[in-house]
Chain A
Amino acid sequence: MSQKALPYLLLLPATAFLCVFFLYPFALVAVEAFTGPNGPTLDHFQNMIGYWKFPTTFWNTVLLAAAVVPVQTVMALGMASVVAKMEKGRSAVLYILTIPLGISDLAAGIIWLAIFDQSGFLNSILHSFGLVSQPVMFLGYQNKAVIFLAVALAEIWRATAIMLVIIVAGMGLIPKEYYEAAEVFGASPWQRFIKVTLPLLRPSLQTALILRTILAFEVFAVVAALGGTNLPVLMGETYNWQFNLQDHNVAAAYALVILAISIGFTLFFLRTLRVPREAQI
């Protein structure tokens, strides 16, 4: 076998797999979203947007992402900075903080259901402090704001770990000399964080933000566990159209909306957090 062919041979299975199960299906979705019985059409998008639930669904998802992602970024940065300063027990704390990384979004939803449910722990705490006499129904349809809060908390709880891991890995790549130099010049810890850590962390922050934002728009099982149909989100509606309303074309249109948002945010973060080649460490 010639040496030249070997790398291609090794790449062949992965490439073929991604073509068949990644590129081709996404092309199929696009085709399905734009074709009707009589050729190309925008009907499915009109059906989707015209459905009474669409505006709520869209804005719920956007608001959730807008509420969750910034909080997670700040929390992950805070956790990573604290852990970086630890001398003893660092790996134990890191293990604990990364546990949610392995927890399914459905399980996370169920975990927070144990807290917010009518017979849940939040009610029990409020009761033991004498704040409520009867258990409150937090997750009922009259309490959309509470459902939103519960979902946001569960999402923050579950998915901060992924940002943390990326940021901790990124912080490990920053040369110690930069901090020593900053200290010599009398920079306070806060100044060191703002002037050294943040700028040098840009590639990691970029990855973390892209990944997290895309996942935030894919929120599904957490909402299903906590809100049911009271808080419709894009992915849940996709599922709903595919199964309950049995309209695969509209489901495909929803998929394209999520896809467009994801690609839009990826390009946005790639641009705004770009690191010039000569500035890379």
Chain B
Amino acid sequence: MTDATQPIAAARPDRRRAAKLLFGATIVLFCAWVLVPIYLLAVNTLSSPEEVTGFPKRFFPSFDLASMRFFIEFAGVGRALWNSIMTASITMVLAVLIGAPAGYALSRFDFPGKNLFRVLVLMTRAFPLPLLALPLAVMFIRVGLDDTVFGLALVHTTLALPFAVLITFSLFSGVPIELEEAAWTLGCTRLGAFRKVVMPLVMPGLAASAVFAFVISWNEVFAAAVLTIKNRTLTAFLLQSLDVSPLPLKFAGGAVLVIPALIFIFAVRKYLFAMWGIANR
């Protein structure tokens, strides 16, 4: 440090500028850390299969869609993609339909046993939930749900349900009960007041929690790989063909997994922090 030899007044702005520069550089570095790997996957996906396996690599895509075409036309991919979408959609619907009433009850009523239910929901956090697939695989064979999209969606709902309950709890807590009470005094039934007053207010948040449930299911690998054999989801398909599939297939598959994630996180970004702020409690 040469600070001691310089007049302090001259050193200050310099220092402040250096601090500002360092601050900016840190932000750029953090963003690059997240974005560069995704960019590299994009380069691989948008290059021809020969370029993907070739060496040395170029750092810019040639915008050749052969890798992507190869992936889409690969046997089983279309089916797996469809299964993934179906599983995630069913999970989304189930998680919101089952979770929202519970969230509403937690936010509006005080009743004996409330804490017991909260403990049950929080307990799911201490458990490695994908392992549920092991016993359920046996259970599903017994009831004829083995290797079905619906069976897998049930497991994924278990993963998504605690989130749905906590998120909807915070959403309903954000709507003052006075609004509902006003509707009651004006002659609405409890259900009517809920539909006409509460629903419109929580709709965007409810959609965000639905999207969140969709992403949880879309991304899940372990349970999907354990529970599906013929009806594989995209993650299960990619996992089980890791050893045998050529590189371009893996990278294109990875990209197809990532794209919805990018869109969905963008769609729910406003709710992400509110969600976790409440989920802390």
Spell out A's residues near B (CB within 8 Å).
Answer: 4, 6-8, 10-11, 13-15, 17-18, 21-23, 25-26, 28-29, 32, 78-79, 82, 85-86, 91, 93-107, 110-115, 117-121, 123-124, 127-128, 135, 157, 165-166, 168-170, 172-173, 203-204, 207, 210-211, 214, 217-218, 220-221, 224-225, 228, 235, 238-239, 242-243, 248, 251-252, 255, 258-259, 262-263, 266
Cβ–Cβ < 8 Å partners of A78 in chain B? 26, 30
Question: Which positions 53-83 of chain B face chain A at CB distance < 8 Å?
Answer: 53-57, 59
Q: List 21 A-B contacts (CB under 8 A).
A: A14-B98, A15-B117, A18-B121, A18-B158, A21-B132, A21-B154, A28-B138, A79-B30, A91-B269, A102-B215, A103-B258, A118-B55, A135-B55, A168-B273, A170-B280, A211-B125, A214-B128, A218-B222, A221-B222, A242-B134, A242-B137
Residue of B nearest to A265 (CB): B126
Asked if A105 and B219 sit within 8 Å, CB to CB, the answer is: yes
Q: Complex formed: what's the CA distance from A93 to B272 in Å?
A: 14
Query: Apart from A14-B99, A218-B222, what are 13 other A-B pairs with CB-CB below 8 Å?
Result: A7-B105, A21-B136, A22-B129, A94-B273, A107-B258, A114-B43, A123-B57, A221-B221, A224-B242, A225-B242, A228-B242, A248-B138, A262-B128
Chain A residues contacting B27 (CB-CB under 8 Å) are 82, 86, 93
Report yes or no: B254 in contact with A107, Cβ–Cβ below 8 A.
yes
Question: A251 and B134 in contact (CB under 8 A), knowing A113-B250, A157-B33?
Answer: yes
Complex interface: chain A residues within 8 A of B97 (CB) = 13
The answer to whether B261 and A99 have CB atoms under 8 Å apart is yes
Q: Are A95 and B266 in touch, CB under 8 angstroms? A: yes
Which chain B residues (101-157) contact chain A, with CB distance < 8 Å? 101-102, 104-106, 108-109, 111, 113-114, 117, 120-121, 124-132, 134-139, 154-155, 157
B127 near A11: Cβ-Cβ < 8 Å: no
Question: Are A114 and B44 neighbours in the complex by a CB distance under 8 Å?
Answer: yes
The answer to whether B243 touches A228 (Cβ under 8 A) is yes
Which residues does B use to contact A, with CB under 8 Å?
A: 23, 26-27, 30-31, 33-35, 37-38, 40-41, 43-44, 52-57, 59, 97-99, 101-102, 104-106, 108-109, 111, 113-114, 117, 120-121, 124-132, 134-139, 154-155, 157-158, 161, 165, 190, 215, 218-222, 225-226, 235, 238-239, 242-243, 247, 250-251, 253-254, 257-258, 260-262, 264-266, 269, 272-277, 279-281
Q: Looking at chain A's contact residues, is the secondary structure mostly helix, strand, loop, or mixed?
A: helix
Question: Could you tell me if A11 and B102 are in contact, using CB atoms closer than 8 angstroms?
Answer: yes
Please give, as numbers and ranges, the residues of chain A lying within 8 Å of B52 by CB-CB distance: 119
A137 to B223 CA separation, bound complex (whole angstroms): 31
B269 CB contacts on chain A under 8 angstroms = 91, 94-95, 98
A-B CB pair tally, cutoff 8 Å: 274
B92 to chain A, nearest CB (A): 14
CA distance A68 to B138 in the complex (A): 34
Q: Hey, which chain A residues are within 8 Å of B38, CB to CB?
A: 99, 111
Contact call A112/B37, Cβ cutoff below 8 A = yes
Pick from A32, A93, A166, A225: contact of B280, CB below 8 A. A166
List the B residue with the shortest CB-CB distance to A235: B222
> Given the interface contacts A14-B165, A106-B221, A106-B235, does A121 sit within 8 Å of B57 by beta carbon?
yes
Are B219 and A104 within 8 A (Cβ)?
yes
Question: If A239-B222, A258-B128 touch, does A110 touch B138 (CB 8 Å cutoff)?
Answer: no
